Amino acid sequence: MNPRGSESYQGSKNKVTSGDYKISPGNNESCQGRSRFRTLTRSSRLKDGSKTVMQLARPVFLIGFMGAGKTSVARRLARMCGISSVDMDTYIERQQEKSISEIFAESGEVGFRKIETEALREIATMSTSMLVSCGGGVVTQPRNLDILKSSGVVVHLMINADQAAERISNTSTRPLFQDLEAARQLCAERMPVYEDAADYTILTAGRGVGSIAYELKRYLVDEGVLK
């Protein structure tokens, strides 16, 4: 399985290890011996040394174009608050035992989108509400929009294709980000869909993961979703 590319400010998307919190493979939905989720047990310590663990009342879906930082922000907020997070692409790769690029090569985008919808359904109906970093194309399927809107809170991390290109160090793992002009067009087509789906939008240009994660936390606390 090819490792996925990483944004300039994040580690590998597939890394399962975590500095501050425990991965609990025995804790639901483990796959091939590895947990697909990052969970923090109630006894674990948070980064700031406190033991406070917050909870999500509903799933929170991060959407936005490739390179927006969805995975990094989800991981940072999960660690800050002691909540569980799951990255949809990683979930799919572990479930299918193939990289996203391999799935695109073997089954095309249509095949990938079917798998993606199934993964979204599974994640949206899990008993523990999680912070979910979605693939950038999740909004292209109306059936996915129904799932997102009906089961959780949707937050758009907004970025344009040029800013994304600066952040993505390795586009080879993103089959739909091979050419900047095509990516600009795709991003422009999707932008109104992201905005329509979103309950809240965070502008990410020029900002670090921590700043975005704090804004997201403030929004979720204000809305009573994160307690």
What residues make contact with ligand S3P under the rule CB under 6 A? 66, 70, 89, 100, 135-137, 174-176
Indicate the residue among 137 and 152 with the shorter CB distance to ligand S3P: 137
CB of 70 to ligand S3P, least distance (A): 6
CA 7 vs. chain centroid, Å, equals 13
CB of 27 to ligand S3P, least distance (A): 24
The residue among 226, 192, 203, 216 whose CA lies nearest residue 157 is: 203
8 A C-beta contact, residue 3 and residue 166:
no
CB of 188 to ligand S3P, least distance (A): 13
Q: Which two tokens stand for residue 114?
A: 């079917």
The residue among 172, 217, 188 whose CA lies nearest residue 5 is: 172
Angle, CA 17 vertex, CA 99 and CA 171 arms, to 5° = 35
The residue type at 201:
T
CA distance 101 to 107: 10
CA distance 222 to 218: 6
CB of 157 to ligand S3P, least distance (A): 10
Indicate the residue among 79 and 190 with the shorter CB distance to ligand S3P: 190
CB of 49 to ligand S3P, least distance (A): 31
Q: What is the 3-state secondary structure (H, E, C) of 92-137?
A: HHHHHCCCHHHHHHHHHHHHHHHHHHHHHHHHHCCCCCCEEECCCC
CB of 88 to ligand S3P, least distance (A): 7
Indicate the residue among 82 and 138 with the shorter CB distance to ligand S3P: 138
What does the CA dihedral 143, 89, 227, 150 come to, rounded to 10 degrees? 0
Indicate the residue among 82 and 135 with the shorter CB distance to ligand S3P: 135
Indicate the residue among 36 and 70 with the shorter CB distance to ligand S3P: 70
Indicate the residue among 82 and 157 with the shorter CB distance to ligand S3P: 157
CB of 175 to ligand S3P, least distance (A): 5
Indicate the residue among 67 and 82 with the shorter CB distance to ligand S3P: 67
Query: Residue 59 carries which DSSP code?
Result: -
